[in-house]
Amino acid sequence: MRADEAVPLGRTGLRVTRLGLGLASLGGLFAPVSDRDAALTVDRAWDVGVRLFDTAPVYGYGRSERRAGAALAGRPAGQYTLCTKVGRLIVPGGTDTQPFWADPPPGVGPRRDYSYAGVMRSVEDSLERLGLDRIDVLHVHDPDEDFPAAVSDAYRALAELRARGAVGAVSIGVNHAPVAARYLREVAAPGPDCVMLAGRYNLLDRSGLDELLPLCAAKGVAVMVAGVYQSGLLADPRPGMPHGYSTVPEALAGRVAAWHALCRDHGVPPTAAAVQFPFGHAAVTSVVVGARTPDEVEDTARMLAHPVPPAFWAAARAAGLLPPGVPVPAS
């Protein structure tokens, strides 16, 4: 599979590349990133064929969106797909702060707001930071933060924007698969066009398969999968690496070690297995992976194309790392 392979985004008229670049890291996730390195990272993604980019207002409190807009400026909007999110406004003195942004801009912070007016203001603010007049994919970010408003007021705003062409596709961005499934069941028709699922469909956590992915397949809702490295544990599980775990639970550490051992036995890089695994499910259109340097982008593109033989997946089943019913990528 190639990073630049483009496929339809579900029932929308959009097309997305198999590999997307998540821009949280360029907002300063866990460690600071310079403006120059952010621009070079997006440039390298473009060079390897990535045309799907995902950001959010809360990523670095506006910094990720501004850097995305600057890096993509001058490139024809029709040649790439840009996603951003609603649900948090970036305002002076915003108090809903998050501890993992390394060097957020001073004096501002996020404030949760899933109201109709808040969503419309969020979109206006995002367009200003991005330097665009239209958003390709707009996610309701973390709808579990205020589910009643997210499934009603926020969706009503997004559906209106979609109807008038200001937004190409409506989506939700979630960390919990049951929340997404509930959203798809309860939202007014026609509902979201796609879902971004982070950290819940990968080699270590397949809870997305319990209900959400079959539901998406039945409804024709496209799925973008993020968090395939389980916060970095499948890339580099060593203590001190920026994987978001202060202490890795013992059971999880055991499964991480087992996957790394299996990969060594079969000569398959763990990141290759991780980035390719979600494509075993037909509802998955893209995998979105974060990067903070050009080399990380290039490495991910190479891992997506790295051969992973059927024998590897068969061995994973035999070792009990994959249950029998979990789909795996075709060779």
Catalytic-role residue among 35, 37, 54, 265: 54
Catalytic-role residue among 59, 155, 183, 201: 59
Catalytic-role residue among 61, 85, 114, 142: 85
Would residue 85 show up in a list of annotated catalytic residues for this protein?
yes
Would residue 47 show up in a list of annotated catalytic residues for this protein?
no
Would residue 54 show up in a list of annotated catalytic residues for this protein?
yes
Look up residue 241 and give its amino acid.
M
From residue 271, give the alpha-carbon distance in Å to each of 43, 50, 182, 251, 313: 22, 18, 31, 20, 14
Catalytic residue IDs: 54, 59, 85
